[in-house]
Amino acid sequence: MPGERLTPARLGPRDVLHVGSAGLRARPMRVVLSALGIAIGIATMIAVVGISASSEAQLLRQLDRLGTNMLKVAPGQDLLSGEKSKLPKEAPGMIGRIPGVEDVGATADLEATVRRSERIDKSNTGGLSVKAASEDLLKVLRGTVGAGTWLNEANGRYPSVVLGSIAAERLGVTGPGQQVFIDKHYFTVIGVLDPLPLAPEIERAALVGWQAASTLLDFDGHPGQIYERSTDASVETVRKLLARTADPGNPQSVEVSNPSAALQAKAATQGAFDSLLLGLGGVALLVGGVGVANTMIISVLERRHEIGLRRSLGATRGQIRVQFVTESLMLSGLGGLAGVVLGAAATYVFAASGGMPWVIPLWAVGGGFAATLCIGSVAGLYPAIRAARLSPTLALQAG
């Protein structure tokens, strides 16, 4: 009707997606190369967070299995003589009588070396030690025997030995029945232990029975380290009593520690060194955003005729802006989706190779994908504004 003001047609969501994806469908190779930068940045960030979370979950799983209720007692320096003090022979038994203590085990360092044979030089120890071990030690450490058997009252009085996992590897012992040379005697290997995360010193040791150490290796009977397990509720109470109970005459020279504290600290600080890698992933993401912006600017220059034709047919500047911002968002979204898949796959491979649980925090996936959309919006904003400002007449002439 005369005098009636024309209103441009609105673009529905379906129309916006159609016009926004037109440029992507027309240039698939350019889309792949532009999205690759975004994908690399997101994949790096997802993989860093996922690997860190998987490692932390593995440590927490270890802590749940090994427990945090084990304390270790060791002699410290005597304040008067300055020499290393000795724990009383009765210390393990006295500690076992503390209310709340469930299990007690002990070891003692021996003045002996372990070698594969007597022909190997005595100074070539390979970093291994020889320890006397009580029968309850393995139970307290919650360790397992990988092959063979553990020390008991019967075999602990004879020249038999149980090797830690690292000790067996360095000595070239593959299983029970073989012999190693300790001090002046050959000892028969009756067992090889699995790794002990709470007692790495045991992994590098050859363990002989308490009685055999006394009769064959001149052991004086004084324990060097005492390990105890108490109920979770009584750990702190037992900790306060350990020094006075282990050595009532010289409690100030007794050291009490929690072997699980190292694993707890490691789990708590698992992501402390991930910030650098996350920063590198962020840089890659920004570089990918610059690539998207560059692609969109080139797209605007190449499609000036299309833009002029659409403007001549009634498309508003706002609709042109929406078209190119949508195209930029879809381009970034494709890169982000590919990055999430690649990062999750890299995390899975790492976790599977290390026997860890596969953990990817949802906030990392959601946050990473949201970051790609934000970068896509920013990267597409200037090209969209530039496209909207093109004069329909000039654009058609340029085409």
% of the chain with per-residue pLDDT over 90:
32
pLDDT of amino acid 226: 94
Per domain, the residue ranges of the chain are: 13-63+269-398, 70-259
pLDDT tens digits, residue range 114-157? 999 988 888 888 889 999 999 999 999 989 999 999 999 999 99
> Given pLDDT bands bounded at 50, 70 and 90, which one contains residue 62?
low
Higher pLDDT, 93 or 24: 93
Residue 230 has pLDDT above 60, yes or no: yes
The pair of structure tokens assigned to 339 is: 């990055």
Q: How confident is the model at residue 379 (pLDDT cuts 50, 70, 90)?
A: confident
Supply the pLDDT for residue 7.
57
Q: Confidence band (pLDDT; 50, 70, 90) for 398?
A: low
Q: Is the pLDDT of residue 350 over 60?
A: yes
Q: Which residue has the higher pLDDT, 161 or 199?
A: 161
For position 224, what pLDDT does the model report?
92
Q: What is the pLDDT of residues 238-254, one digit of tens each?
A: 989 999 999 988 888 88
